[in-house]
Structure 1
Amino acid sequence: MALLKMYQFDPSYFQADKVADILLLALTNLPKSDFLLCKYLLDTQKCQENSRIVEALQFAELLESCRFQDFWELLERTTVKIPGFEDRIREFICQTINRTYQTINQQELQSALGRLNNNDFEALIKTRGWKVLADDPNYIWIANHEENIKSRNIVEKIKFEHVAPVMNII
């Protein structure tokens, strides 16, 4: 981020390939807002002039809109040199699926997770604690979200005597 800030103050040092790598690295930290913070430090016009930066922006758009299959198709056509990029993106996709679905079609899950062979796919399912449904092996049970709901007791710290003068004004 410091490098992007420097580019903001002195655009003559701008190196598009380094910016693209920074954006791709920030993508690996989704769902945190690192990518957005980096994006807001960039000059929009310079970003549109470099194909690698445009691709990084397209990756972000596809991931943030949960168009995972489109993301993997675009990734097939490009070269990303960030170590562990695919695994970290896959982790983000798994987190998103975990929050969204209780059950999911196996083919839909495979296409969302991208280039995984069957052994890796089955290992990922086992690692995440997901299970193939016994009554329908085409579906995978992700989570029972009702078990994750936690109630909270809210304690009011403002007393009516403190609010009464304000109520008289209204």
Structure 2
Amino acid sequence: MSSESATSAWVTPPTRPELIESLVSGVDRYNPSNVSILEDYLYHQIRSQEYDCLANLAILKLYQFNPDLYNPDVVINILIKALTASPFPDFNLCISLLDDRPQTAHLDEPDPLPQLLPTLTTLHSLLHQCRFPAFWTLYHSDDLQPLRDNYTVEVVGFEDSVREVAVRAVRSAFTRITSKRVASYLNLPEGPELESYVSKLGWTLDSASGVISIPLNADNKIESTVVQENIQLPQLAKIISHTAATV
């Protein structure tokens, strides 16, 4: 997908309903009475593996303007969805709307966001830095079991979405890579499961050498660049005279 197409899909996802389009694009974006519609749409995204950053940002903006509407579980789910948009800046865009933390006096239980936010930020940093094995180690650690049990378990295809982040990185940086390394990036065991996964991507695995070949694309194609500078004689004379004067 070209950068222009990716930007267009980000601004207006093809799966966005007309009602949500009217809310996101019009003045009703800031109407607090519509927050429940946008929240329902977020949970539709969670169940269907769809994603709409602008609609989710609209929720966070409404929470800023109307602190009494604040729902920490909604915010956490928005951040989890934004995690797998890496390397795009969606997660940081969401974080930027949390600077003024809403008053939580109306909540019946303690706000879980302050405790989870550093963890989610660390997970995002690991993905953004392409440190995929470290991401999987942290994500599957005992410390993050509450995050898995209470949140990501509800996000359909969350781990597959993380793998897509790794696939985008590998596709843009490599033409050949070992299957062992790819397995660590995708958190998949070497063998039939990994072979099936890379085959669906159109990649070729040489079982004898354990090397995966990735088709050329606009990002991983190596092209030599020739830089040619033309210096005219008068310019050269000025350089020489300036050098002689400073010696």
TM-score, normalisation: structure 2: 0.52
Aligned equivalent of 1:8, options 47, 64, 68: 64
Unmatched segments (≥5 aa) in structure 1: 151-170
Q: Secondary structure at the match of 2:88?
A: coil
The aligned amino acid for 1:139 is V
**Cα RMSD, aligned residues only:** 2.9
Bigger RCO of structures 1 and 2 (CA < 8 A, at least 6 apart): 1
TM-score, normalisation: structure 1: 0.73
| 1:119 and 2:187 are equivalent in the alignment | no
Report the CA distance between 1:99 and its aligned residue.
0.5
The aligned amino acid for 1:100 is A
Q: Secondary structure at the match of 2:163?
A: helix
Q: Secondary structure at the match of 1:137?
A: coil
Aligned equivalent of 2:131, options 67, 71, 91: 67
Separation in 1, partners of 2:159, 2:221: 28
Are the equivalent residues in 2 in contact too, given 1:104–1:139 (CA < 8 A)?
Answer: yes
Aligned to 2:177: 104
Unmatched segments (≥5 aa) in structure 2: 1-56, 103-110, 224-247
Q: Deviation per CA, 1:114-148, whole angstroms, max 9, x where unpaired?
A: 145633211111111111237x5222112345895
The aligned amino acid for 1:91 is E
Give aligned pairs, total: 149
| 1:131 and 2:131 are equivalent in the alignment | no
Are the equivalent residues in 2 in contact too, given 1:133–1:140 (CA < 8 A)?
Answer: yes
Separation in 1, partners of 2:127, 2:160: 14
Aligned to 2:88: 32
Separation in 2, partners of 1:117, 1:19: 36
Separation in 1, partners of 2:59, 2:84: 18
Separation in 2, partners of 1:91, 1:102: 17
